[in-house]
Each structure stands twice: as C-alpha cells, then as structure tokens.
Amino acid sequence: MKVVIAFIQKQSQILITRRALDTHYGGYWELPGGKVEINETPAFAINRELKEELSIDVQKAEFICCLEQEFLKFYLYDVQDYSGDPQLSAGQLDKTWININEIENYQFPQTNQKFFDIWQSYKRDKPS
C-alpha cells in the first residue's frame, strides 16, 4: 500500500491532526495525508488528501523521499505553499500547530518518528 505524508509548515510550526477514535491508532496524532488510490500518483494523492482532510489547495509540494516499511510505502512531501485555512473535514478529532521540539508531548504512531527525523534532515540540508 502507498501512503502520502505532508509536512505543512507555518512560521516555525508544523500542522498535525488527531485520528478518529474508531480508526487504527485511534486518538493518536499524525501528520496529514492518506492512501494513494489505484491509478493515482503520489503527487496527485497529496493534493487530493489535503483537500479532503483539511480543505486546502496545495500550490507547491516538494517530494522529500519514499520510505518503505513492511508492506507500506510512505511518500513524504514538504508542502511549501497552499491556499485556504486548514479546517478539519474528514473525521479527524483535532488539529494543532506545534514546534518540532514538542513532538514528544503528543502520542504518534511509532513510524512517525522516522518521518520527523527525515524531514528535519531535509530542512537542515536544503539550501536557503
């Protein structure tokens, strides 16, 4: 299965959402994103998922990397520009903006720590 993951940043904070209680990892926090549908590219899926989940239109998203873990392929994107104000619209319980050093204060699926590590390395190594 292919899954897209979005890092949406505002100033020095990133957007996280909280999963519905009746889902796998219910109540955990996560980065926005979702499944890539059949015959859909990850680039198209990141746009569709963020429109469905947050009611935003992605203007620019840069592909960071693909991380394979067991039977899943995670496609990580750095969303650099979007229009609209993120609103919950697909069953999440909550959303919040956090500083990257606050992630230990939120319960995430274990895989997410790798996502944060990759994103921080990407941001650190990216030319200004």
**54 with 32: CB under 8 angstroms?**
yes
pTM of full prediction above 0.75: yes
Q: CATH number, domain at 54?
A: 3.90.79.10
Q: Which two tokens stand for residue 119?
A: 């994103």
Instruction: Report pLDDT for 22.
Output: 84
Grouping H, G, I as helix, E, B as strand and the rest as coil, residue 57 is strand
Model confidence at 91, pLDDT cuts 50, 70, 90, reads confident
Report the number of distinct structural domains present in the chain. Answer: 1
Q: Which two tokens stand for residue 54?
A: 């947050």
Which residues, including other chains, have CB under 8 Å from residue 113's CB and lie 6 or more apart? 103
Q: Which has more pLDDT, 125 or 37?
A: 37
Per-residue model confidence as pLDDT tens digits over 45-71: 999 999 999 999 999 999 999 999 889
Grouping H, G, I as helix, E, B as strand and the rest as coil, residue 104 is helix
Instruction: Indicate left, alpha or beta for 84 from its phi (over 0: left) and psi (-120 to 50: alpha).
Output: left
State the residue range of the domain holding 41. 2-125
Q: Which two tokens stand for residue 118?
A: 């990759």
